[in-house]
Chain A
Amino acid sequence: MPRILNHAPWLVLAVLGAFALGTVALARGETINALWLVVAAVCTYLVSYRYYSLFIATRVMRLDPARPTPAMRHNDGLDYVPTNQYVLFGHHFAAIAGAGPLVGPVLAAQMGYLPGMLWILAGVVVAGAVQDFMILFVSMRRDGRSLGELIKAELGDIPGVIALFGTFMIMVIILAVLALVVVKALTNSPWGFFTVAATVPIALFMGIYMRFLRPGRIGEISIIGFFLLIAAILLGGQVAQSETWAPVFTLTGIQITWILIGYGFVASVLPVWLLLAPRDYLSTFLKVGTIVMLALCILLVAPPMKMPSVTRFVDGTGPVWSGSLFPFLFITIACGAVSGFHALISSGTTPKMVENELHTRFIGYGGMLTESFVAIMALVAASCIEPGIYFAMNSPPALLGTTAESAAQVINNWGFVITPEMITQTAQDVGEVSILSRAGGAPTLAVGMAQIFSDLFGGKGMMAFWYHFAILFEALFILTAVDAGTRAGRFMLQDLLGVFFKPLQRTASWAGNLIATGLCVAAWGYILYQGVVDPLGGINTFWPLFGISNQMLAGIALILATVVLFRMKRERYAWVTMVPAAWLLICTLTAGVQKVFHSNPAIGFLAHAERFSTAANEGRLLAPATSMEQMRQVIFNDYLDAALASLFVLVVLAVLVFGILSCLKALRSDRPTTREIPTGGATARAGD
């Protein structure tokens, strides 16, 4: 009897969650409060954490609290340090949280909030959190080795190299798409551009302060830096008003692109203490602080959801991104439901610092549930603004035209009530000249956040401040990711190129450094440039490509986890990773193939290329191209994108084949063949 009583509170939670979910799902026509989503999400997280993650920990992994972790065995006070689980949770969460869970749900809101919400919740419980937890476990049992090394050890050398190459390509796409989000937010926005540009001298000042003036005072300088940022936002407002300065900071998308490319190059060859590290401090603290603030504000404001729960665009004709609900919703929302990039973090520093095997459940599974909650908040922020404003901000100019009048007319025809005055008023409220066609999630989220924050602090007069605060918050950590990513890509490339020409491998050599950095910047810069000049807005084309690659990496990570379970002779539990892996492969392969071969030019790259080729042969120009040369450029890019998408499909298929072969081999063996560090490894490297 007491055993059953233990479960009673959880049953109450489950019933409450189901009721909230039912309320959200069955609301037709009437507006519901965002708190229903929050309650449904939190109950889902708690119940799945209590039962499903416990099942995985005790039955599938059989975590052993007595088994020494890498931190115990190699304790060096630096990389391997046994760390309190709450402290490590904070570290892990700060590492996995990024632009992904904020942007994806905002874009997915074009179908209404219900499909996105259901995928975020189901995805995180069954796929995302399982992946993070499993990879953390697998890496922890192998001295904290990286995903690439793990694939090499468990699947073989060839799949290891294939996966590494895939990871590099994914990183290039990710950097380009993230940079594109920043460009979209800062184009023709003197306030935004000034504020973000000001972060560079602020970071330089912090770096010099920490190096020469008061070494090691991280907390002190971070607080100073934070106040300088706020000052930069306030000053930006003045700049935007000034007749002399506003034009200086009003730049076109193409100008900003070149500035970003130059900046990315310089920033990633400078010493890290000067620019990268101080900006990383600011962006990390600002990111975590803002996320916590957003959560509190949503609870206090309890905004109504103005977006319909399901819109007519579930049929695949949406203006923000093209493609039907299946498979494209499942790749549009990547982080927040399941994200392959977390596999890199879970096999990075976190496994080296775990104090006790049992903690991985809270850090791995719990950390991803928290990230998922960030995605739910982004969905709420995007759905609590007027749907008409949402579509005005996220639809490409090819559909809306460039004036508030034309945009309002188009959006009214879609069935969302909006007047040109509402559009210009919103732009005025947030201190911008225009809010039209700012796809990419960040500005929409900023309007939503500004609305929620200003409801609590400062009223309408503060909306412009909060809008630019939100833009700064996103731009700051995206730019940090861009230059940390360029640096990481440079090392990867030097490694790769070093195979053919040895001297390039020396990461300290200036020539090798400059060449590899240049190549890396050129790769993402090229894609970024294509995205910026794309008349469909770039995000429309490239976000699906990012989603496909990111979800494919998750598929690869789950295949690895499945192979490990087979090799541990725990194949009876392998469904835990096989089911999400299968779902991800179905979604990403379908989406990948559709992106290449779909007959609708809005979806399929080849169909799009053919439409432009036919027109070019007849001597006609198609928008957005304004010359024959641009027509040829569009066609070339279509083929390039098709090649990229096909490459991802091939990479994932190859890993799948190797995965199946490894599983079959493990099945034939009568004992475990996995390559864990044995329990008795406690003294293997003691004393070093």
Chain B
Amino acid sequence: MSGLKSNLSRFRGYFEQTAKLMIGVPDYDTYLEHMRTRHPDQSAMTYTEFLDNRLQARYGAGKAGCC
């Protein structure tokens, strides 16, 4: 039962990640993890700063639309 539950929550996690990446927002936890392990000396962006950063990256220079 718990196996099914953990499978379901993992599936939900992937679903959420996919939906967010579709609109150009990568996983925030992965980013935090990266900052914690690779740059412990720097402070990580808050979630809203992170979103804003991704927004600028998605609609900034040199991005083309779909067909």
Contact = CB atoms under 8 A, between A and B. Distances in A.
Nearest to B57: A79
Contacts of B67: 96, 98-101, 174, 334-335, 339, 341-342, 550
Given A78-B26, A99-B67, A216-B48, A491 B62 contact: yes
Contacts of B18: 86-87, 90-91
Residue among A216, A276, A335, A477 with the most chain B CB within 10 A?
A216
B17 A98 contact: no
Interface residues of B, number: 39
Given A78-B26, A81-B26, A341-B66, A88 B21 contact: yes
A335 B49 CA distance: 36
Given A87-B14, A348-B64, A272 B22 contact: no
B22 A288 contact: yes
B66 A280 contact: no
Interface in A267-294: 272-273, 276-277, 280-281, 284-285, 288
Contact of B64 (A277, A284, A488): A488
B26 A77 contact: yes
B29 to A, nearest CB: 10
A192 to B, nearest CB: 22
Contacts of B20: 218
B65 A94 contact: no
Nearest to B31: A77
A507 interface: yes
A84 interface: yes
Interface in A317-345: 334-335, 339, 341-342, 344-345
A84 B65 contact: no
B53 interface: yes
A341 B64 contact: yes
Residue among B21, B33, B51 with the most chain A CB within 10 A?
B21
A201 interface: no
A676 B60 CA distance: 27
Contact of B55 (A273, A288, A488, A687): A273
Interface in B31-67: 31-35, 38, 47-48, 51-67
Contacts of A550: 67
Interface string A74-117: 01111101011011101100111111110000000000000000
A98 B14 contact: no
B22 A90 contact: yes
B16 to A, nearest CB: 7
A408 interface: no
A171 B64 contact: yes
Q: Is the interface of A mostly helix, strand, loop or mixed?
A: helix
Interface stretch (A4-12, A391-399, A479-487, A606-614): A479-487
A272 B59 contact: yes
A486 to B, nearest CB: 9
Nearest to B25: A218
A507 B33 CA distance: 33
Contacts of A481: 65-66
Nearest to B62: A491
Contacts of B66: 95-98, 100, 341, 345, 477, 481
A285 B24 CA distance: 12
A215 interface: yes
Contacts of B32: 77
A97 B21 CA distance: 15
B31 A78 contact: yes
B59 A276 contact: yes
Interface string A110-132: 00000000000000000000000
Interface string A140-175: 000000100000000000000000000100010010
Contacts of B47: 215-216
B4 interface: no
A146 B22 contact: no
B6 interface: no
B8 interface: no
Nearest to B22: A94
Contacts of B48: 215-216
A492 interface: yes
Contacts of B65: 98, 171, 174, 480-482, 484-485, 488
A298 B21 CA distance: 28
A477 B23 CA distance: 13
B2 interface: no
B62 A218 contact: no
Nearest to B52: A273
11 contacts: A78-B53, A87-B18, A90-B22, A96-B67, A100-B66, A146-B62, A216-B51, A272-B56, A348-B63, A484-B63, A491-B62
The 3 closest A-B pairs by CB, nearest first: A77-B31, A77-B34, A98-B66
Given A280-B23, A345-B66, 10 more contacts: A75-B34, A78-B53, A79-B57, A87-B21, A100-B66, A216-B47, A272-B56, A284-B22, A492-B62, A687-B38
